[in-house]
Amino acid sequence: MKHSDPAPGTEILAGFTTALATGAIRIIDLTQTLGPDFPSIVMPPEIGQSRAFRMEEISRYDERGGAWYWNNLSFGEHTGTHFDAPIHWVSGRDLPNSSTDTIPVADFIAPAVVIDCSRESAADADFLLTPDLIKAWESVHGKIPPRCWVLMRTDWSKKTDPAAYQNFDEVGQHTPGPDPDAVRFLLNERDVLGFGTETIGTDAGQAAHFLPPYPCHYYMHGAGRYGLQCLTNLDLLPPTGSSLIAPPLKIQQGSGSPLRVLALVPSSQAGASRP
Amino acid sequence: MSETIKRPKRKNPILKTRAPTLPPDRRSRVALGLVRGAALGNLELQCCAACGAVQYPPREACVRCLSPELEWTVMSGRGELVSETTLHHSQELFFRERMPWRLGLVRLAEGVSLVAHLDARCGPAPSPVRVEAVLDRAGQAALVARPADGDAALADEPKLRVMTSDPRFRKVLVTDAKSPVGQAVVKAVLEAGADLVWAGHCEPWKNPPGWPAIAELPKVTLVPLDVTDTKSVNELAAELGFKVDIVINTAEHHRTFGIFGRAGVETARAEMETNCFGLLRLAQAFGPVMQSRGADGDAGAVAWVNLLSIYALSNFPQHATYSASMAAALSVAQALRSEMRVAGIRVVNIFPGPIDDEWNQLLLPPKLAPSAVARAIVGALKGSVEDVYPGDIAQDWLARFRDNPKALERELGR
């Protein structure tokens, strides 16, 4: 009896795992460590609050459980390096397959481009990414392909002082992000899969005052697209050519989830994203 | 401040830290009647409802008419020192460590005679004195005869100082120094002569008004402390718990919702997390190491203060979940008091009415200024009480609660 031919893709997958084993494809962790010391989102105190990450020991090889160590965790869905599902925002409330348990899993592995805004963000904490800046980036690196993550590199993750990371003054938070036109451009002209940042939100710190407020949340999730925030190590990614593995926890009707974000990078391309 | 109390020398580290001893603390049920007043700083004695006789020591029935209808009644404390004596020997370890010890026989204006610890500043008998009920290191009521003019601070008397938890020369941890009350407490304990204050603060990205100035004060050291985070509490306790003489737990989470005003339990949980479990975390982390230092020289571990609320006694339905968390905190504080008593460490609970802060914006005056809360805390430490109800609202609600808790429950409702 003749064996059937291998399924299409078998060779590709074998080549992929070989590339991982040989280091031809490198894995870069884009995830901040999930712990109580990482800053949590700040909301006006009178409205509902996201719980900060907390860990309580169940037992540690002690009288509470002799031979084992484990913890109970509590935190908001939007804690640490996390994924925003479309249902997170009111604009995405009625979309199908918009929560962490129903999003098509194919969307969890996708290519990424990295737009380096680190110099601009260092000079101006309120720096905003605009369509013109995106087009300028494209003139060097090529047009952003559809269904692709767009990651905004600001080097904000290098701010290890939590006060500097949050960067509040008496009129609020000052962190970089996209302006409303940039979000509209990425969706309408480029059909992106989602937008990712190193800051505590996909929107800029002052985005509550934009029209519409929080444009990245409003438009991305309204279009059924996703957000990633509190990413790190974006400086280790090439401008183009990487892919992200970013599946959130399968939380029933979840609006988001902390997650491990891994970037796959061809090793010849690994390195700073600025050419 | 008196010059009679000198800065204690640093401990000789090759000598064993002494274990705390307590004055004799067994009391009959009826004798425990004294502690009700003493907890608040009042001298209460039994007064016969039938014949009006005042009596001491406490008994089951009136010594004059045998009526069992005895009411604990606040006394003036005015009296005359009839005779005095100095004790040179005792079978009690606590007093053996403190010999010689002065005692006096006092005739109160109300007509009863009693034996009291004698303030060294009282004139020789016969002389006018004022008798106060204080709490000794065992947390039991004790009577002290003090100069009648009333100006001499208990904490300035070298022997009777042990009845107090004077912050002078002590190291104080203020668990949330960022809040309005926390800021006021830092200033107040420094004014009271504390050696240093560890100013607990969390969420370093929040910079409320007044905080930068607190951080600049001499003798203030900022320490990261989030009472909702077990890791944070344990790390700080490991770092400096063995140096803390007084904990003042000012951390509180206050939202202003009735049970129908905020759907779900997240706000209530956050209040419980800080107000109740925060106290529990602090107690587990700092309590045992403080217990070990209950007799660590003349400025060892001495007190633990909890900022509670008058709403702990009876729920204020407009702030229902906050009230519930404070009732839970009070219960934890009672357990902590019991645990710390064995080391002679006093647990002081503060029950303010509405404090003049943002969360009480919509309540009409009178409201307590944060500085008034701080004064009440320092006053309790310099004196000898364990329950403090500062301000008119707290006093009024306490009186109504004691008179008829069901009536207060109805009155606080909508």
Give A168's contacts in chain B (Cβ within 8 Å).
205-207
- Region A68-88: what's the mean pLDDT? 98
Whether residues B128 and B223 fall in one domain: no
Region of B344 on the Ramachandran plot (φ > 0 left; ψ -120 to 50 alpha; else beta) = left
**Nearest C-alpha neighbor of A177 from the set A209, A223, A145:** A209
Q: Which of B163, B190, B216 is the last residue of a domain?
A: B163
Whether residues B139 and B185 fall in one domain: no
State how far the Cα of A224 lies from the Cα of A91, in Å rounded to an integer. Answer: 9
User: What tens digit of pLDDT does each residue of B285-328 get?
Assistant: 999 999 999 998 778 999 999 999 999 999 999 999 999 999 99
Contact A42 B228 (CB under 8 A): no
Contact B255 A168 (CB under 8 A): no
State how far the Cα of A218 lies from the Cα of A205, in Å rounded to an integer. Answer: 15
Q: Which helix (H) or strand (E) holds A69?
A: strand A65-74
Contact B229 A36 (CB under 8 A): yes
State how far the Cα of B80 lies from the Cα of B82, in Å rounded to an integer. Answer: 6
Residue B381 lies in a domain: yes
> What is the SS3 assignment for B267?
helix
| A272 has pLDDT over 70 | no
In terms of residue numbers, what domain contains B323?
171-412
Residue B27 lies in a domain: no
The answer to whether B230 contacts chain A (CB < 8 Å) is yes
Residue B15 lies in a domain: no
Whether residues B225 and B351 fall in one domain: yes
Confidence of residue B149 (pLDDT cuts 50, 70, 90): confident
Contact A52 B229 (CB under 8 A): yes
Rounded to the nearest angstrom, the minimum Cα separation between B228 and chain A is: 8
Residue A3 lies in a domain: no
Q: What is the pLDDT of residue B6?
A: 86
**CB of B122 closer than 8 Å to CB of B147:** yes
| B102 has pLDDT over 50 | yes
Q: Which of B163, B197, B232 is the last residue of a domain?
A: B163
Residue A159 lies in a domain: yes
Residue A250 lies in a domain: yes
Residue A188 lies in a domain: yes
For chain B, how many structural domains are there in total? 2
For chain A, how many structural domains are there in total? 1
CATH number at residue A191: 3.50.30.50
Catalytic residues of A: 88
| B4 has pLDDT over 80 | no
Confidence of residue A273 (pLDDT cuts 50, 70, 90): very low
DSSP codes joined into one string, B99-161: -SEEEEEEEETTS-EEEEEE-TTSPSSSEEEEEEEEE-TTS-EEEEEEETT--S-GGGSTTGG
Q: Which of B128, B163, B198 is the last residue of a domain?
A: B163
Which site among B229, B235, B257, B359 would you substitute to test the A interface, given the most A Cβ atoms closer than 10 Å to its Cβ? Answer: B229
Whether residues B133 and B182 fall in one domain: no
**CB neighbours (10 Å) of residue B121?**
15
Residue A76 lies in a domain: yes
Rounded to the nearest angstrom, the minimum Cα separation between A57 and chain B is: 9
Give A52's contacts in chain B (Cβ within 8 Å).
228-229
Residue B13 lies in a domain: no
Residue A168 lies in a domain: yes
Whether residues B177 and B55 fall in one domain: no
Whether residues B159 and B176 fall in one domain: no
Residue A13 lies in a domain: no
Q: Which range, of A250-259, B146-155, B179-188, B211-220, averages the lowest pLDDT?
A: B146-155
**Nearest C-alpha neighbor of B55 from the set B39, B28, B33:** B33
pLDDT mean across residues, chain B: 96
Say if residue B100 is preceded by a cis peptide, omega within 30 of 0: yes
Confidence of residue B170 (pLDDT cuts 50, 70, 90): very high
The first and second tokens of residue B9, run together, are: 């020398």
In terms of residue numbers, what domain contains A95?
25-39+54-269
Q: What is the pLDDT of residue A274?
A: 43
Contact A48 B206 (CB under 8 A): no
Whether residues B149 and B180 fall in one domain: no
Q: What is the pLDDT of residue A76?
A: 98
Whether residues B150 and B243 fall in one domain: no
Measure CB to CB from residue B266 to each of A39, A48, A57 and give the nearest one: A48
Measure CB to CB from residue B204 to each of A49, A55, A163 and give the nearest one: A163
Residue in B closest to A169 by C-alpha: B207
Residue A8 lies in a domain: no
Whether residues B316 and B195 fall in one domain: yes
Confidence of residue B5 (pLDDT cuts 50, 70, 90): confident
**CB of B110 closer than 8 Å to CB of B96:** no
What share of chain A in percent tops pLDDT 90? 94
Whether residues B199 and B122 fall in one domain: no
| A194 has pLDDT over 80 | yes
Residue in B closest to A45 by C-alpha: B255
Q: What is the pLDDT of residue B414?
A: 75
CATH number at residue B237: 3.40.50.720
User: What tens digit of pLDDT does each residue of B207-261 get?
Assistant: 999 999 999 999 999 999 999 999 999 999 999 999 999 999 999 999 999 999 9
Residue with tokens 């002494």: B18
| A228 has pLDDT over 70 | yes
Residue in B closest to A174 by C-alpha: B205
Whether residues B194 and B128 fall in one domain: no
- Region A27-51: what's the mean pLDDT? 96
pLDDT mean across residues, chain A: 95
**CB of A204 closer than 8 Å to CB of A198:** no
Whether residues B211 and B159 fall in one domain: no
Give A166's contacts in chain B (Cβ within 8 Å).
205
